[in-house]
Amino acid sequence: MSIRKTLRCVLLVLILGGSAGCSKWLDVKPKTQVGEDDLLTDEQGFKDALIGVYTGISGEALYGREFTMAMMDVLAANYDVALTSHSYNQAGQYNYTNATAKSALFGFWSTAYKNVAGINNLLSKIDDRKETFAPMMFELVKGEALGLRAMLHFDMLRAFGPLPGKGLDQTAIPYVTRFDMKVQPRLTVQEVISRCMEDLTAARALLKVRLDVTYNHADLWLAHTRNHFNYWAATGLMARISLWAGDKENAYKYAKEVIDSKKWNLIAATAVNTLFPDRTFTAEHLFAVYLANMQTLNAKHFNAQAPSTAVLTNRTAFINTRFEVNSGGSTDYRYLYLWKTSGSSTTKYPAKYWIDDILDNGSWLMRRLPLIRYSEMYYIAAEATANKEEGIGLLNEVRSHRGLQLLSTSLTEDQLKLEIAKEYRKEFYQEGQLFFFYKRTNAAVLEGTARPGSEAMYVPPMPDDEIEFNQN
Amino acid sequence: MQGAANGVPASGADFMSAYQSNPSMPLFILDGFEVSLQKIYDLDINRIERMTILKDAVATSAYGSRAANGVIVVDTKQPLPGRLTVNYTSNVQITAPDLTSYRLLDAAGKLEVERLSGMYTSTSSFASHQYFWDKLYSKRKADIERGVNTYWLAKPLQTGVGTRQSLYVEGGDQYLRYGVSFAYGNNKGVMIGSGRKNYEGSMMLSYRKNGLLVRNQLTVNSNRADESPYGAFSAYTRLNPYWNPYDAQGKTVKTLDILSTPGNAAQTIVGNPLYDATLGTTNYAKYFGMVNNTMLEWRLRNGFRFTGKLGITSQSDQSDKFLPADHTAFINITDFNSVDYYTRGQYNRNNSSFFALDGSLLLDYSKVIGKGLFYATLGGSLAEQRSQGAGFEVRGFPNSRLDEVFLGNAYLRDSRPTGKNDVTRRVSAFSSLNYTWDRRYMADFSFNMDGSTQFGDDKRFAPFWAFGLGWNLHEEAFMSGLKGTAVDRLKIRAGIGTTGSQQFSPYMATTTYQYTTDREYLGMLGAGLMAYGNPLLAWQQTMKRNIGMDVSLFKERVQFRLDGYIETTNDLLLDVNMPPSSGVATYKENAGKLENRGMEGNLNVFLLRKERQGIYWSVFVNAIHNRNRIKEISNSLKKMNENNDKSDNNLQTRPQLRFVEGESVNAIWAVRSMGIDPGNGKELFLARNGELTYEWSAADKVIVGDALPDVSGNIGSNVSWKGLQLGVYMSYETGGKLYNQTLADRIENANLRYNVDERVLMGRWKKPGDATYFKGLADLEGRQVTELTNATSRFLQRNNFLDFESISLTYNVPDRYSARLRMKNTRISLQANNMFRIATIEVERGLDYPFARNFTININTTF
């Protein structure tokens, strides 16, 4: 009798009681996957998620290659891609329906918004867990997230949005602040800009807790300030956005704030004319991403190992014109140290990202790709200032740190504008910013190609999937 | 009687051919435990006592969600009491490759095709380019005239002969029984150097007293599979016949040719795969495993029976692959100064282990109350599977003497080890009730709950139920006159039930992050979003309704079974497309309805049955007719339709899936073709509006046929004459259509740089006036046609076939002869698989591995 009873009990427990205990036993997740309820619960989890965003945006589809040194600079006519078999040949002719160009454009859009989704999910949960953070960490993590969101949206606006010169009320891109499956409408340029500024203002208020710029710190999160979206990066970005919107007053204000902070310096000659040159001018990075695979990128594009279908460089005639070698530019550090021959060939390659020869020396000089530079603050201030002399002075400040002669103070407004344009061309080679300069100023001709600028050229189409599924 | 009589495949090989390529593989249960198809294949056919196929909802409900495609239950023979008996089986297997379905060009034909396609005509204005092509053409022509004409396909093949020996010793008495077996198998494959070696030992112990039965079976096995050093068969199908693998002295060369285009520095070096076979390479995988199954059954006096089972499986695998520096895999590294040149040669080593635990408890109760029989079952089971592994690659092996993984130069640069660590668990509870009244009326009800790690958080457990009714007409009073003479059995049954037919990954229901382990950011590892988790995601449920009858007539001379069913799947799991600004491309929703209707019949007839003389002849046929219809789809499928109309990535060379409400999922969409225009070799299409055009457009696609056959199934026959038995097993299909992809890929879209099907030369249009089935090699100006052939009705063909899957001949040596050697139950059998096929479409039979036939000779006897 009792055996029967026991058996019955055992089975009943098995069937009914099973569901509660069993659910826990069944809750097995693979080692590398974590549900959001388990990850976004403490400081380390939020940090891991934010690092996930940094890793995502520094991938090759966005800042890690295409948006900076490859596609975007091809569109700025910085490279010679005339060879018909070259993979960027069609993109170089602004044929945006070509498969390579299309896939690069889709890569920008999808990578940027995918990481915006990651940021949004993080922000939706961080406020509730504030108490799990160490002092200062909450502000840094949340501030960086907000700043990155603004930056990603602004870069999509710069790339796919309409010409700013045509007015700010045209439809542009969606500004996404929540991770839910509700399709966001496309906003006007002005609306996108004001949302960016909102996010950046909130970011600055939080990031203000740490104004120091360090690269050496026991805490991995606080080391390498330049590779996190810091207070100064936020300020610099606000300057850049203001200039894009044509708001010269604010552009000048923010740019000057960075310049006057005394936290930043332009490089000296000793940074580049040594055995281990700092070719990207690391000290000047307001915000740079870290690229672990820098060496393979060089082998792909920038040295003699690069196949003819992918090599990105230009002819000597172009280099000479760009750097005005025959009229005083031959001492320019960017000409002297950033263009090198490779192997036995006589072709010159852009050596900004080369690291094979400096591997032995400190790691902080390598593997960084600048997105916001200190020198750009000078350029913005010079362009935005009402005072022409001040503008010339600011430009000279940069020139003196680049091995160039100072400009005369008697330059006209137009000549100043021209000099600023020349600086953009020299400074931002391989960084993808030049195209946006041309777009912002609606440049009539792209130097090096004699190609006339046009709206069709400056405004690439949005990916098909976005147009199809976002009918708003 | 063996399964063969009922239309069930009779041997392991039959099972493999019937189920191996079946995407809806059923669940296999051997002696109460779940096993893989490979285990059933390896099972000695003589050990099988009984094989039962369960299909309808009630019968499969005991197995829960795993039984969506049916269950095949196999029971092996238990040892018999008495003296020690020894059973010995010896088996020889011959695998013979058959190349008759491949029709590739010979050397002269290939050169001619290249010339006609304009390959030797330079498109540039440089005279030196044309000179390059002329020189190349003359060189190849000279080689052909000297007699070079290599038939590459036959080079790496052999007729593989293998053997399997097994010994089974059993004995025991009324209470304790035991059985021990040993087996050794050594099979050679059709690629030279490939083969499989297997050692297996097992021990079975069972104890039975009063109402208690305890049984334990322990099996240990070790296996090693070697891959051929000749590489992949597909490489041989591409090589051009005017390339000679040997030089003038008869030595095997390494480089066959260097392909380049004038004006372009890039070049491709073509290596000789036969050269690789002369080097010392290694490529094998081995494992060692153990399986232990324990069962306890306790019959209590008052109608209760309690059963407990525990199964443990453990296996560890290792795989090694070694290529020395001289191997053609590295042939395109030509810069002698580069680091890559010094690190040629590779060794890949992978180790993994697997552990599984499967336990269940079952309680049944049966009681007779008057005319009624009541039967109830209650049970639960749980299972866990752990799978772990790690692997790495080492580079730098200058010669084949250094063929150990620790002799390499360095790890592959910038690489990391690969690996996995997965755990899955399953819990289920099951109950069923069964009532039979007066052996005439039956009612069944069953209920089952399954939970698994593979299901989402909110919907971890899924309930399934089934209900059925049956009526044994042959037990009715009004049938008593027919019973025993005409009608042995006439049962009508009907059932309704639900099953789950799909599991979805947990990250579809909960937002999950994944750590990026292959990239660090300043020494930190980040976690990225995997997908949008839809917390509302629910199980996809299929409701099955079926009605059928089982009939047995004329003293079991005629047996047949007929079933009709309607299956509706609601809440079909589908992808919903989102614009990329939402952060994801798709997410999963329950948004679709699919309906499947069909009929299935099974007939087995004894045309001759003379028991006394031992003469039997039976024929069986089974047939299935199935149609499906999409009742409703979400916008994501509508989007997929449009995507499949785009021409990116050569998508259009195959007919794409297209889902439309009201149509079948197997409909084939293509543009209607009017054939090839003899005037210019181009294909003429019929647009939707009825106009003729040379332009192919996705918008003109219509339904040109359906892949589902009208009827499909198996046919076979068994003849026994005294001690001889002959069995034939065939499968057939009729009424379906197939898009003959071979014609598109191998004849019209073929890459002319490598070898192609002979119809490229014979069947393609060459000059105005040719009326051909295939389009032109070159256009009217002599330029090579490089446009791809997209989905066209020209290649849609009727797919009717009859496949002779297996034929077997068995001779049972009468005991009076074998008794002299103290042997009994001696049996010799011959079996052949895939003998031939009668079909309306000739499809090339496999490029990755050559098509081969199997012949087996088997001797089995007992001492």
Using CB atoms, pick whichever of A26, A176, A224 lies closest to residue B451: A26
CA quadruple A132, A136, A139, A141: dihedral, nearest 10: -70
Q: What's B402-453 look like in SS3?
A: CCCHHHCCEECCCCCCEEEEEEEEEEEEEEEEEEEECCCEEEEEEEEEEEEC
| pLDDT tens digits along B675-710 | 888 888 888 899 888 889 988 776 677 888 888 899
Structure-block tokens of residue A249: 């007053």
Evaluate whether A44 touches A133 at the Cβ level (below 8 Å). no
Pairing of the two strands B27-30 and B71-76: parallel
Q: Which of residues 303-342 of A touch B (CB under 8 A)?
A: 307-309
pLDDT at A45: 92
Evaluate whether A350 touches A339 at the Cβ level (below 8 Å). yes
Q: Which of residues 617-646 of B touch A (CB under 8 A)?
A: 639, 642
Q: Distance between CA B523 and CA B519 in Å, rounded?
A: 9
Shortest Cα distance from A412 to chain B (angstroms)?
45
Kindly indicate the confidence band of residue B651, based on its pLDDT and cuts at 50, 70 and 90: very low
Q: Distance between CA A178 and CA A288 in Å, rounded?
A: 26
Shortest Cα distance from B639 to chain A (angstroms)?
9
Q: Which of B334, B503, B513, B587 to mutate to test the interface with A (most CBs of A within 10 A)?
A: B513
Q: Distance between CA A266 and CA A252 in Å, rounded?
A: 19
Kindly indicate the confidence band of residue B13, based on its pLDDT and cuts at 50, 70 and 90: very low
Contact B584 A51 (CB under 8 A): no
User: Within a 10 A sphere around the Cβ of B267, how many other Cβ atoms?
Assistant: 11
Evaluate whether A74 touches A66 at the Cβ level (below 8 Å). no
A vs B, Cβ pairs < 8 A, gives: 204
Q: Which of B414, B521, B638, B639 to mutate to test the interface with A (most CBs of A within 10 A)?
A: B521
Span between the terminal Cα atoms of chain B, in Å: 22
Contact A463/B at CB under 8 A:
yes
Contact A49/B at CB under 8 A:
yes
Using CB atoms, pick whichever of A19, A109, A117 lies closest to residue B529: A117
| pLDDT tens digits along B162-176 | 999 999 898 888 788
| pLDDT tens digits along A427-440 | 999 999 999 999 99
Kindly indicate the confidence band of residue B9, based on its pLDDT and cuts at 50, 70 and 90: very low
Shortest Cα distance from A60 to chain B (angstroms)?
12
pLDDT at B12: 44
- Whether residue A313 has pLDDT greater than 80: yes
Backbone angles phi, psi at A116, to 5 degrees: -65, -40
Q: What's B174-231 look like in SS3?
A: CCEEEEEEEEEEEEECCECCCEEEEEEEEEEEEEEECCEEEEEEEEEEEEEEECCCCC
Contact A55 B521 (CB under 8 A): yes
Kindly indicate the confidence band of residue A104, based on its pLDDT and cuts at 50, 70 and 90: very high
Contact B526/A at CB under 8 A:
yes
Shortest Cα distance from A45 to chain B (angstroms)?
9
pLDDT at B21: 40
Shortest Cα distance from B66 to chain A (angstroms)?
17
Q: Mean pLDDT throughout A85-106?
A: 87
Using CB atoms, pick whichever of B379, B580, B582 lies closest to residue A463: B580
| B264 contact residues in A (CB cutoff 8 A) | 85
DSSP 8-state class, residue A184:
P
pLDDT at B659: 59
User: Within a 10 A sphere around the Cβ of A344, how many other Cβ atoms?
Assistant: 6
Contact A56/B at CB under 8 A:
yes
| pLDDT tens digits along A165-204 | 888 999 999 999 999 878 888 999 999 999 999 999 999 9
Contact B451 A19 (CB under 8 A): yes
Using CB atoms, pick whichever of A121, A184, A463 lies closest to residue B529: A121
Helix, strand, coil proportions of chain A in percent (round to 5)? 55, 5, 40
Shortest Cα distance from B131 to chain A (angstroms)?
22
| A149 contact residues in B (CB cutoff 8 A) | none
pLDDT at B343: 87
Q: Distance between CA B10 and CA A419 in Å, rounded?
A: 88
| pLDDT tens digits along B266-324 | 678 899 999 999 998 999 999 999 999 999 999 888 888 899 999 999 999 999 999 99
- Whether residue B4 has pLDDT greater than 50: no
Minimum CA–CA partner of A289 in chain B: B521
- Element at A215 (helix H, strand E): none
pLDDT at B256: 92
Contact A469 B577 (CB under 8 A): yes
Q: Which of residues 129-188 of A touch B (CB under 8 A)?
A: 173-174, 176, 179, 181-184
Using CB atoms, pick whichever of A85, A181, A309 lies closest to residue B578: A181
Average pLDDT, chain B: 83
pTM to 2 decimal places: 0.73
Pairing of the two strands B346-369 and B372-395: antiparallel
Q: Mean pLDDT throughout A329-345?
A: 87
Evaluate whether B763 touches B676 at the Cβ level (below 8 Å). no
Strand partners, B298: B212, B306
Q: Distance between CA B526 and CA A59 in Å, rounded?
A: 12
Q: Which residue, among A342, A357, A215, has the nearest Cα to A290 in the 3D structure?
A: A215
Q: Which residue, among A338, A342, A345, has the nearest Cα to A319 in the 3D structure?
A: A338
Q: Which residue, among B737, B155, B687, B60, has the nearest Cα to B428 in the 3D structure?
A: B60
Q: Mean pLDDT throughout B77-88?
A: 79
Shortest Cα distance from B712 to chain A (angstroms)?
41
Higher pLDDT, B188 or B459: B188
| B266 contact residues in A (CB cutoff 8 A) | 307-309
Contact A5/B at CB under 8 A:
no
Using CB atoms, pick whichever of B266, B522, B528 lies closest to residue A118: B528
| B511 contact residues in A (CB cutoff 8 A) | 35-36, 121, 179
Q: Mean pLDDT throughout B248-270?
A: 83
pLDDT at B170: 86
Backbone angles phi, psi at A130, to 5 degrees: -55, -35
pLDDT at B424: 80
Q: Which residue, among B275, B194, B270, B277, has the nearest Cα to B230 in the 3D structure?
A: B277
| pLDDT tens digits along B504-523 | 666 677 788 888 877 888 88
- Whether residue B636 has pLDDT greater than 70: no
Q: How far is CA A40 from the centre of its chain?
A: 26
Q: Mean pLDDT throughout B13-33?
A: 59
What lies within 8 Å, CB to CB, of B802 at 6+ separation is B715, B730, B731, B732, B837, B838, B839
Q: B29-38, B365-374, B652-661, B835-844: lowest mean pLDDT where?
A: B652-661
Structure-block tokens of residue B718: 């068994």
Q: Distance between CA A240 and CA A246 in Å, rounded?
A: 10
| pLDDT tens digits along A346-364 | 788 999 998 888 877 766 7
Evaluate whether B168 touches B160 at the Cβ level (below 8 Å). no
pLDDT at B397: 92
User: Within a 10 A sphere around the Cβ of B486, how many other Cβ atoms?
Assistant: 13
pLDDT at B60: 58
Q: Which residue, among A223, A260, A55, has the nearest Cα to A148 in the 3D structure?
A: A55
pLDDT at B714: 92
pLDDT at B67: 63
- Whether residue B746 has pLDDT greater than 80: no
Higher pLDDT, A23 or B844: A23
Q: B35-39, B84-88, B157-161, B504-508: lowest mean pLDDT where?
A: B504-508
- Whether residue B379 has pLDDT greater than 70: yes
pLDDT at B847: 67
| A182 contact residues in B (CB cutoff 8 A) | 582
Kindly indicate the confidence band of residue B57, based on its pLDDT and cuts at 50, 70 and 90: low
Q: Mean pLDDT throughout B834-850?
A: 76
| pLDDT tens digits along B423-453 | 888 888 889 898 988 888 889 899 988 877 6
Minimum CA–CA partner of A115 in chain B: B583
Contact B266 A308 (CB under 8 A): yes
Shortest Cα distance from A42 to chain B (angstroms)?
14
Q: Mean pLDDT throughout B768-780?
A: 82
Q: Which residue, among A295, A315, A341, A297, has the nearest Cα to A70 in the 3D structure?
A: A297
Contact A222/B at CB under 8 A:
no
pLDDT at A218: 85
pLDDT at B458: 59
- Percent of chain B, pLDDT > 70? 86
